Amino acid sequence: MSTAERPITAPPAPEAPLGVRRKLAALTVFHTGPGDVARAAGPVALLTFRPRWLIPPYAMVTSPQGARDVLGRADGAFDKQHIMHRQSQAFGRNVFNLPHDPWVGRRRLLQPLFTRRHVATFAGHMAESADTLTAEWIDRGVVDLDEQTRRLTLRVIGRSVFGLDLGERAEQLGPHVHVLLGWLTARAQRPVRAPGRLPTPARHRMRRALAAVRSVIDEAITAARADPDGDAELIQLLLQSADPDTGRPLTDEQIRDELLVFLIAGHDTTSTTLAYSLWALGRDPGLQDRLAGEVAALGGRRPSVDDLPALALTTRVIHESLRICPPAPVIVRSAVQDAVVGGYLIPAGTQVMVGVYAMHHDPALWADPDRFDPDRFATLRLAGDDRWRYLPFGGGPRSCIGDHFAMLEAALGLATIIGTARIDALDDEFPIALPFTLTAGGPVRARISRR
């Protein structure tokens, strides 16, 4: 009998001793839900419902070993077949939601576009855009950091990914993206969903928002084809690429589907990381002055990709913001075969939620986890299973393809802003919302003055 055919011998995962209401809450409150389950039943626990045809069984995983067992496999044993991924295909089929087999070829195609060399080109627009908007913030005095960092990241995506100067259209795109993400989350969380063909008001709003976003992407593809020497390097690379399975060039629809996920993934995630970083620095003047001194040591010039090795504290601030506010508070997979996770048997057909937020805030894994302390990353060396306690970009083969871009973008943006402006946070709490990724749940007010 081959290894693959041998029966798996492991104890079944324990059932979480929670009522139906608390179980359902754990599935819909992405950041705190998995932690509640872990406290009740341990780091690997099942949540089952009746009738099963209405809600499939779920497993909550909140240990580094369990995360590795789910996310670290490359054989497709845990695939993206959750309702969240299937519903997102209404926006197109892309590297985020493709099942394992077609995903392998698409990831192989796209990965070279996100090497450090190419990413350095994409991220080059961040410092320029941050410099321009920071001057505007100083003139205004008091701003909403959440709103303004969204403007910033959309402008950067427009320039670096689409080769377009979105200008004020960036402010119009943001609400459309929120409509898409809100529809996706609400649809995926409902045990009973209206048929996809039913013309509901929510579906009408989603389609209108999707059309608005796609129109910008189509404009960018047309402009890139007309001007091969323009700024849209990513689109140019996609236009010149061939599908690894067919050998044929990618269609405009395939390119549009990939650009859509880059727009969505690069919008809320980086803006929230920047907003949280600025808010946290705005409540710690000493730390903010240390970071400003690091930037000043560059000699007064605008930070560039080549300066990143000298921006160690800046990078640690970004890492700590990603720990406290991870973009994906949970990562969901579907078990397509029986598998052992954290020492327990997870049956095929189980929907598995890896609690990233729960691990990032676990006092057994992090000292004083709710305290903002970038210096914890000064000597931290994550290796082996321990590496799986910190997953801001996921882990394993299907980790975020744009992680280098996100880190460069956030670090250059933060260094540029703090090098010019002083931030005084006006709110004691950073509100949290979960339209899909973890974002600010309301205004994050700050007074901005020239340094």
Q: pLDDT tens digits, the chain, 451 residues: what are they?
A: 444 556 678 999 999 999 999 998 888 888 888 999 999 999 999 999 988 877 889 999 999 999 999 999 988 899 987 777 677 777 778 888 888 888 888 888 888 777 777 777 666 678 888 999 999 999 999 999 999 999 898 888 888 777 777 766 666 777 888 888 777 777 766 655 666 677 788 888 888 988 988 988 898 899 888 888 877 777 888 888 877 677 888 888 888 988 888 887 777 889 999 999 999 999 999 999 999 999 999 998 889 888 999 999 999 999 999 999 999 999 999 999 999 999 999 999 999 999 999 999 999 999 999 999 999 999 887 776 678 999 999 999 999 888 888 898 899 999 999 999 999 999 999 999 887 788 899 999 999 999 9
Q: What are the two backbone dihedrals, phi and then psi, of residue 348, each rounded to the nearest 5 degrees? A: -55, 145
| 51 preceded by a cis bond (ω within 30 of 0) | yes
CATH 3.20.20.10 fits 8-450, yes or no: no
What's residue 1's pLDDT? Answer: 42
Please report, for the chain, the start and end positions of each structural domain, with discontinuous segments joined by +.
8-450
Which residues are registered as beta bridge partners of 97?
A: none
- Asked if 92 and 58 count as a contact pair (C-beta separation under 8 A), the reply is no
**Residue in 162, 103, 200 with CA at minimum distance from that of residue 398:** 103
At 189 the pLDDT is: 66
Structure confidence at residue 308 (pLDDT): 92
Helix (H) or strand (E) holding 24: helix 20-28
Measured between alpha carbons, how far is 43 from 65 in angstroms, rounded to an integer? 10
Q: How many Cα atoms occupy the beta-carbon half-sphere of 184 within 13 Å? A: 25
Give the pLDDT score at 2. 43
What is the predicted pLDDT for the residue at 373? 97
